C-alpha cells in the first residue's frame, strides 16, 4: 500500500503558509486552507491521501481547537497526525491542544530544521502505528480463521472415533441455524442474528467430550452395561470442561454457548435427559436447539441403532417423545422448519467416498492448521521486532550457519553476506565494533560457541559499541542471546537480538 503524501496546512496568515510550503515542497503535495471550516471540507475530500495536518490555533470562522474536535468524527481511528502551530510563551494553549488530541507542536517563528524533524518524526510514528494496526487486524482475522480450522479438526476427529458420518457436524450446524432463526420469531428467546451465528458455530463442539471416552464403549454395537453407560454420559460434562480450557478463543460468548451445548444438549423437557436431569426452561436455549437438531440428524443418518429413519418417521419419533420430550414451543418450531431440515439433509448426505477420505481430510486439516499457526507466529514476531526497533539473527548450532531475520540496518546487511556465524562475527568485529571492545568480543565469541554446542538453555545479555552508519558514530547496542524452544521443533536454534539503547543504560559492563 502506498503511503499518503499530502500535507494540509491550515493558517489564516498567507506568509506562514508560504514559509511552511517552502520547507516541505520537496516532500509533500501541499494543500492550503485559511480556516478550520475550509480545512474540514478538504479533509473529507482527500482523507485517504493526507499524511499530516499542520494547523494554527487562532483563526477566524473555525479555530484550531474546534477543527481538532471535529476531526475526531472524521478520523475516529486517529490515523492522521495533527501538528499544532503555536507562538512562544503559549503553554496554556499548547497543553489544551495536546489534551484534545494534537500529536506535536511547532513554534513560530519557524526554524526549518526543527520543524522538518518534528514533522518527520510524527509522520513516521503514525505510519508505523497505522501499519501495525493493520497487521493486528489481519492477525485477528487470521486467528479467528485458525480457531475455526482447529475446531473443525477436533470435531472431525471426534466424529471419526465415534463412527459417525462425515457431514454430521455440517448438517448439525445448518439444522441448528434453521431452528434458531424460527425460534427468534418469539421475542422471549432474545435471539439476534449475531447470537444465532455464534450458537450455530459453537454446535460443532457438542460432542467434543467423546474424545476421552474409550473406543470400546464409544462404538459398542450391542448395548452398554450400566457402568459403561455412566462413562458414556460423562462426555457431556467432560466436553464442557475441555471447552473451558480453550483460552486461545477470544470470543467469550462462543465459549459460553459451546459449554452450554456440550453439557446440556442431552437434557430433555421432562427431566428424562442427562447428565443432570434438569427440565423445562432450566435447559439453555442453545442446548434445546442443538438437542433437537442432533436428534433429527441421528435418526435420519443411521446413528440410532444403525437404522436410517425417513424424514417423516424421524419427526414422528421426536414428537412421540421416545427419545425424550421436547417443549411444546420447540416442537412447534420443528413443524415450521421440517421442510427446510429435509432439504439440508438431502443436500449434505454422506457417501462411502466421504467416509473413506475422512482420515485424509483430518491429516490435511492438521497440516493446514499448523502452517497457519506458523504464519501467525511469524507475523507476530516480525511485528514485535518492528515495534521494539530490534534486529534478529537465528543461529543453527548443528551447522554453524545463521539467518538474518530482520536485517534492516547496514550492519546486518553486511554480515548477512557471511553464511558462517563465526566469520560473520569477525566481520562485525573488524568493521563495526569499537576498538576498545575488539578483544572483549573475541573472548565472548569463544564462550558463546561453547554454549551453542552444549544444548543447554541459554539466556545471556551483552552490550557493545557498534558503528551506527545512519548517525555516523558509535552507538550502544544491547545483545540478547536466547536458545529457542518450541513444541513444533526440537532443533534448539538460538536467537540473537540487537537493540540500540541509550548511553545511560550502559552503566553495567559485560
For residues 312 and 189, membership in a common domain is answered with yes
The answer to whether residue 384 is domain-embedded is no
The answer to whether residue 34 is domain-embedded is yes
pLDDT tens readout for residues 62-105? 999 999 999 999 998 888 999 999 886 778 888 999 999 899 99
The answer to whether residue 484 is domain-embedded is yes
For residues 345 and 287, membership in a common domain is answered with yes
pLDDT tens readout for residues 38-72? 999 999 999 989 999 999 999 988 999 999 999 99
Which 3 state secondary structure label does DSSP give 228? helix
The answer to whether residue 290 is domain-embedded is yes
According to the model, what pLDDT value does residue 404 have? 62
Residue that is last in its domain, among 349, 378, 399: 349
Q: Is the pLDDT of residue 370 over 90?
A: no
Q: Is the pLDDT of residue 6 over 80?
A: yes
CA distances (Å), origin 478, targets 300, 338, 484? 66, 68, 19
For residues 192 and 326, membership in a common domain is answered with yes
Residue that is last in its domain, among 63, 86, 110: 110
Range(s) of the domain holding residue 456: 389-506
According to the model, what pLDDT value does residue 489 have? 40
For residues 91 and 199, membership in a common domain is answered with no
The answer to whether residue 367 is domain-embedded is no
Pairing label, strands 390-395, 494-500? antiparallel
Residue that is last in its domain, among 87, 110, 133: 110
CATH of the domain at 490: 3.30.450.20
CATH of the domain at 18: 3.40.50.2300
Taking alpha carbons only, the member of 309, 327, 307, 308 closest to residue 317 is 309
For residues 255 and 197, membership in a common domain is answered with yes
Q: Comparing 12-16, 140-144, 336-340, which segment has the lowest mean pLDDT?
A: 140-144
Q: What would the DSSP string read from start to end of 16-80?
A: HHHHHHHHHTTTSEEEEESSHHHHHHHHHHHTTTEEEEEEESS-SSS-HHHHHHHHHHHSTT--S
For residues 327 and 183, membership in a common domain is answered with yes
CATH of the domain at 207: 1.10.3210.10
pLDDT tens readout for residues 183-240? 999 999 999 999 999 999 889 889 888 877 876 787 765 678 888 899 999 999 988 9
Distance between CA atoms of 395 and 495, rounded to whole angstroms?
Answer: 6
For residues 105 and 195, membership in a common domain is answered with no
C-alpha cell at 173: 450446524
For residues 191 and 300, membership in a common domain is answered with yes
What percentage of residues in the chain have a pLDDT greater than 70? 73
According to the model, what pLDDT value does residue 329 have? 93
Q: Is the pLDDT of residue 287 over 90?
A: yes
The answer to whether residue 379 is domain-embedded is no
For residues 182 and 285, membership in a common domain is answered with yes
Number of domains in the chain: 3
CB 53 within 8 A of CB 122: no
For residues 317 and 171, membership in a common domain is answered with yes
The answer to whether residue 377 is domain-embedded is no
The answer to whether residue 58 is domain-embedded is yes
pLDDT tens readout for residues 288-347? 999 999 999 999 987 776 688 999 999 999 999 876 789 999 999 999 999 999 999 998
Q: Is the pLDDT of residue 263 over 70?
A: yes
Distance between CA atoms of 364 and 156, rounded to whole angstroms?
Answer: 12
According to the model, what pLDDT value does residue 275 have? 96
**If you search the block for the grid coordinates 414451543, which residue do you land on?**
329
Mean pLDDT of the chain: 80
Q: Which of 274-283, 318-327, 479-488 has the highest mean pLDDT?
A: 274-283
According to the model, what pLDDT value does residue 205 have? 87
Q: CA neighbours within 13 Å on the CB side: how many for 55?
A: 34
For residue 367, cis peptide bond before it (omega within 30 degrees of 0): no
For residues 338 and 437, membership in a common domain is answered with no
For residues 92 and 183, membership in a common domain is answered with no
Amino acid at each position: 500500500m502506498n503511503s499518503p503524501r499530502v500535507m494540509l496546512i491550515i493558517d489564516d496568515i498567507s506568509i506562514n503558509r508560504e514559509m511552511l510550503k517552502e520547507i516541505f515542497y520537496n516532500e509533500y503535495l501541499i494543500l492550503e486552507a485559511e480556516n478550520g471550516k475550509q480545512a474540514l471540507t478538504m479533509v473529507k475530500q482527500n482523507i485517504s491521501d493526507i499524511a499530516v495536518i499542520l494547523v494554527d490555533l487562532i483563526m477566524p470562522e473555525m479555530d484550531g481547537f474546534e477543527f481538532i474536535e471535529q476531526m475526531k468524527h472524521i478520523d475516529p481511528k486517529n490515523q492522521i497526525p495533527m501538528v499544532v502551530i503555536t507562538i512562544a510563551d503559549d503553554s496554556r494553549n499548547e497543553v489544551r491542544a495536546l489534551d484534545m488530541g494534537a500529536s506535536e507542536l511547532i513554534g513560530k517563528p519557524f526554524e526549518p530544521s526543527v520543524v522538518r524533524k518534528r514533522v518527520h518524526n510524527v509522520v513516521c510514528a503514525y505510519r508505523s502505528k497505522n501499519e501495525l494496526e493493520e497487521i493486528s487486524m489481519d492477525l485477528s482475522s487470521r486467528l479467528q480463521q485458525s480457531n475455526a480450522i482447529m475446531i473443525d479438526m477436533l470435531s472431525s476427529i471426534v466424529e471419526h472415533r465415534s463412527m459417525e458420518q462425515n457431514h454430521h457436524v455440517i448438517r448439525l450446524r445448518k439444522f441448528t441455524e434453521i431452528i434458531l432463526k424460527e425460534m427468534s420469531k418469539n421475542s422471549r428467546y432474545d435471539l439476534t442474528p449475531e447470537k444465532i451465528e455464534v450458537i450455530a458455530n459453537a454446535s460443532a463442539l457438542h460432542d467434543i467430550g467423546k474424545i476421552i471416552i474409550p473406543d470400546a464403549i464409544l462404538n459398542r454395537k450391542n448395548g452398554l452395561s450400566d457402568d459403561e453407560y455412566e462413562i458414556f454420559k460423562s462426555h457431556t460434562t467432560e466436553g464442557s470442561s475441555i471447552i473451558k480450557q480453550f483460552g486461545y478463543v477470544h470470543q467469550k460468548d462462543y465459549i459460553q454457548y459451546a459449554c452450554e451445548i456440550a453439557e446440556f444438549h442431552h437434557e430433555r423437557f421432562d427431566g428424562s435427559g442427562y447428565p443432570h436431569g434438569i427440565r423445562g426452561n432450566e435447559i439453555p436455549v442453545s442446548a434445546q436447539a442443538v438437542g433437537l437438531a442432533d436428534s433429527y440428524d441421528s435418526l435420519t443418518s443411521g446413528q440410532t441403532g444403525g437404522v436410517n429413519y425417513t424424514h417423516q418417521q424421524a419427526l414422528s419419533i421426536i414428537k412421540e417423545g421416545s427419545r425424550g420430550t421436547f417443549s411444546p414451543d420447540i416442537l412447534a418450531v420443528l413443524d415450521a422448519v421440517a421442510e427446510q431440515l429435509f432439504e439440508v439433509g438431502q443436500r449434505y448426505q454422506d457417501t462411502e467416498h466421504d467416509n473413506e477420505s475422512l482420515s485424509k481430510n483430518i491429516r490435511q486439516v492438521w497440516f493446514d492448521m499448523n502452517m497457519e499457526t506458523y504464519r501467525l507466529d511469524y507475523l507476530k514476531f516480525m511485528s514485535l521486532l518492528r515495534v521494539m526497533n530490534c534486529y534478529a539473527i537465528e543461529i543453527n548450532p548443528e551447522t554453524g550457519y545463521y539467518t538474518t531475520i530482520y536485517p534492516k540496518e547496514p550492519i546486518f546487511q553486511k554480515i548477512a553476506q557471511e553464511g558462517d556465524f563465526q566469520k560473520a562475527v569477525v566481520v562485525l568485529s573488524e568493521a563495526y565494533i569499537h576498538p576498545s571492545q575488539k578483544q572483549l568480543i573475541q573472548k565472548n565469541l569463544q564462550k558463546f560457541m561453547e554454549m551453542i554446542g552444549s544444548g543447554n538453555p541459554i539466556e545471556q545479555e551483552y552490550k557493545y559499541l557498534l558503528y551506527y552508519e545512519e548517525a555516523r558514530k558509535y552507538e550502544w547496542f544491547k545483545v540478547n542471546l536466547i536458545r529457542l524452544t518450541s513444541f513444533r521443533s526440537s532443533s534448539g536454534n538460538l536467537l540473537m537480538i540487537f537493540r540500540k539503547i541509550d548511553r545511560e543504560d550502559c552503566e553495567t559492563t559485560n
